[in-house]
Amino acid sequence: MTRISARHLMVLLMLVSLVVWFVGCASKPPKEERAAAEQAFKTAQVAEKCAALTYTAAENALLKARRLTTEKKYDEARHYFVVAKELAEKARREAAANEECMNPKPVSAGAPAESTESEDEPVLTGTNNPDFELKPIFFPFNSDEITEEAKATLADISAWMNRFPDVSVAVEGHCDDRGSTEYNLALGERRANAVRKVLILLNVNPDKLDIVSYGEERPLVDAENEEAWSRNRRAEFKKRWNR
């Protein structure tokens, strides 16, 4: 009992010192943090492909921090610069660990060069195209688990959505046709919700995300076999421009 109280006290002390620290720094642009974050992010570019999810999270945090700086919300901005820096470093570590991805077999020529690159914002290949294709993600049987592959897709979608604030996305949850109509409607809803939660974690504005479950009603592949079922257990993304 006393040990727990001591621990509580420590946590409280830490919280207090954090608040004091925040107050102390209030209303000054977070120049140092920004420089550190930008530097870390540039160094982490190598991770764009090989640790896509973390990289995108870093990118989103950085974009948000920049926006907050422009809005003169310095305390929040500082927080996000720190987060961005940590995420960028993490992405670089993850990428370094992903040898298969870092040393790929030679493939075709690289992506077309970007000409609209500005000083402040790094190039965002693919997801800077308003017509970026939102690919479906797939789920295991009777599950709303977001697989590693799906996370990479969601990272791209979040980057794209953060890039284009005028776009809303409807997340559609779908199921294979085994099991009851009613249960599958609930399962599809749960899948769409799980996707929405991940996108929000990736800094997508919740107001830009709608969900709808179609249960087993709109199969991608109209057949009764393992391959068809695995393709039908999915979330699809529908764009809507609010211009």
Partner 1 sequence: MMTIKGLRLTGYLLIFLLLPTTAMAQLVIDVDPANFRKYPVAVTPLKNFGETEDTAGLAAEGQAILMNDLAIAGLFEVLDPKAFLEDPKTSGITEATVNFTQWLQVGAEGLVKGGFWIMGDRIKVDLRLFDVALGREMLKSAYERDAGDFRRMMHAFADEIVGFFTKEKGIFSTRIVSVRRVNKTKQIYVTDFDGNGGTVMVDNNNINLLPTWSHDGNHLFFTSYINNNPDLYRVKAKPGAKMIKVSNYRGLNVGASTSADGQRLALTLSKDGNSEIYVMNVDGSQLRRITHSWGIDSSPSWAPDSKRIAFVSDRSGTPQIYAATVSGDAAMRLTFQGNYNQSPAWSPRGDKIAFCGRDERLVFDLFLVDPDTREIVRLTQDQGNNEDPAWSPDGRHIVFSSTRTGESKLFIMNADGTNQRLITKQPGSFSTPDWSPRLEVLK
Q: Is 150 in the site for partner 1 (CB under 8 A)?
A: no
Contacts of 108 (CB under 8 A, 6+ apart): none
**Helix 148-163 × helix 52-70 angle, to 10°:** 20
- Choose between 125 and 230: whose C-beta lies nearer to partner 1: 230
Contacts of 54 (CB under 8 A, 6+ apart): 47, 87, 90, 91, 94
Region near partner 1 per CB under 8 A, out of 97-105, 116-124, 150-158, 178-186? 178-186
Site size toward partner 1 (CB under 8 A) is 20
- Choose between 153 and 213: whose C-beta lies nearer to partner 1: 213
Which amino acid appears at position 93 of this protein?
A: R
> Going by DSSP bridges, is the β-strand pair 209-215/167-174 parallel, antiparallel, or unpaired?
parallel
Q: Is 193 in the site for partner 1 (CB under 8 A)?
A: yes
What is the full DSSP assignment across 133-188?
A: ----EE--TT-----HHHHHHHHHHHHHHHH-TTEEEEEEEE--SSS-HHHHHHHH
Region near partner 1 per CB under 8 A, out of 85-93, 110-118, 125-133, 189-197? 189-197
Q: How near is the Cβ of 130 to partner 1 at its closest, in Å?
A: 23
Q: Minimal CA–CA distance to 181: which of 225, 232, 212, 215?
A: 215
Q: Is 190 in the site for partner 1 (CB under 8 A)?
A: yes
Q: Is 217 in the site for partner 1 (CB under 8 A)?
A: yes
Q: Which of 33, 38, 189, 236 binds partner 1 (CB under 8 A)?
A: 189
Q: Report the SS3 class of residue 42.
A: helix
Q: Which of 43, 129, 142, 147 binds partner 1 (CB under 8 A)?
A: 142
Q: Is 214 in the site for partner 1 (CB under 8 A)?
A: yes
Q: Which of 145, 182, 207, 227 binds partner 1 (CB under 8 A)?
A: 182
For partner 1, the binding residues (CB under 8 A) are 142, 178-183, 185-187, 189-190, 193, 211-215, 217-218
